[in-house]
Structure 1
């Protein structure tokens, strides 16, 4: 499920997915920055350019190259601002394509042993009126495609065992 909302000039994308793995297994996978490339569409040319620790930690800076449009790759710098083991972590853009990017990753153990994963991304597009047009024309569509790809990839990885 992917949901978009807009409030006070900020866009919010929310997703939920149940994974057929324990909370520990889900946390081990998602809190490891090097796994992000595995769940990002190949055509984006996503590449981590910094050294990364095996596990995310508060204060960690991660740099990437990412294709936002065909033939256009940008540098993107995020910081892991907060981590609570096996519960959530937050990354925020420090430099990149957005005026603001705040991504919350939440994990909940379900009674049946599965894990509910929720993402909440609050973001703001630069360039005023032109940014609003870009959001309507392609940014929202691109983000939806990225998170649909991620959903489908995770279904194969964790739910079709």
Structure 2
């Protein structure tokens, strides 16, 4: 099972970074390249523990749906989402937030997934899927960082 660990340093208050990471509206903005839309469950605002969201997006040329549930949350330090329906055999994503001595926030993503289709899925993970998922998460984190550091984040945290 591939595990991706991404660290992003964000110069903004931890509460802001945490809330932007769970903002449905910012997620849709940050994933514009895949036309990702929240179509069921929580479809705007901030997702909370126990809630679900169903996403529809175009990945690798095919529209897919993915439903995740926020299984754990400790504000503003941690939340976890797990796939409950989707194309992966399994998927879980831990979001960790740690205040640094200089006032910045270390945002760490730990993303575990397993492609379906047995050996063919393992080959896909190795040959392209792990890198594809890394780039997807890096782009999302880059947008979170830009929005948080710009100070222009209220539109993603209201409602």
Query: Normalised by the size of structure 2, how large is the TM-score?
Result: 0.85
In structure 1, distance between residues paired with 2:73 and 2:81: 9
Which residues in structure 2 correspond to 1:21-100 (within 5 Å)? 21-40=12-31, 42-52=32-42, 54-70=45-61, 72-100=62-90
Equivalent residues of 2:2, 2:125 under 8 A apart: no
Shift of 1:24: 1.6
The answer for unaligned runs of 5 or more in structure 2 is 152-159
Q: CA shift at 1:11, angstroms?
A: 1.0
The root-mean-square deviation of aligned C-alpha atoms, in Å, is 1.8
Q: Say which structure, 1 or 2, has more relative contact order (CA 8 Å, 6+ apart).
A: 2
Q: 1:101 offset after TM fit, Å?
A: 0.4
Moved more, 117-126 or 130-139: 130-139
Number of residues paired by the alignment? 150
Question: 11, 19, 22: which is aligned to 1:20?
Answer: 11
2:113 paired residue among 108, 123, 142: 123
Using structure 1 for the length normalisation, give the TM-score: 0.84
Point out the more displaced range, 102-111 or 128-137.
128-137
CA distances 1:88-127 after superposition (whole Å, capped 9, x unpaired): 1000000111111010000111122111100001111110
Q: CA deviation at 1:144?
A: 2.1
Structure 2 Cα separation of the partners of residues 59 and 28 of structure 1: 16
Residues 41, 52 of structure 2: 8 Å contact kept: no
Shift of 1:36: 1.1
- Matches of 2:145 and 2:72, distance apart in 1: 27
Partner residue in 1 for 2:2 = 11
The corresponding residue for 1:5 is none
Instruction: For 2:87 and 2:70, locate their aligned partners in 1 and report how far apart those are by CA, in whole Å.
Output: 17
What secondary structure sits across from 2:98 in the alignment?
strand
SS of the aligned residue for 2:103 comes to: coil
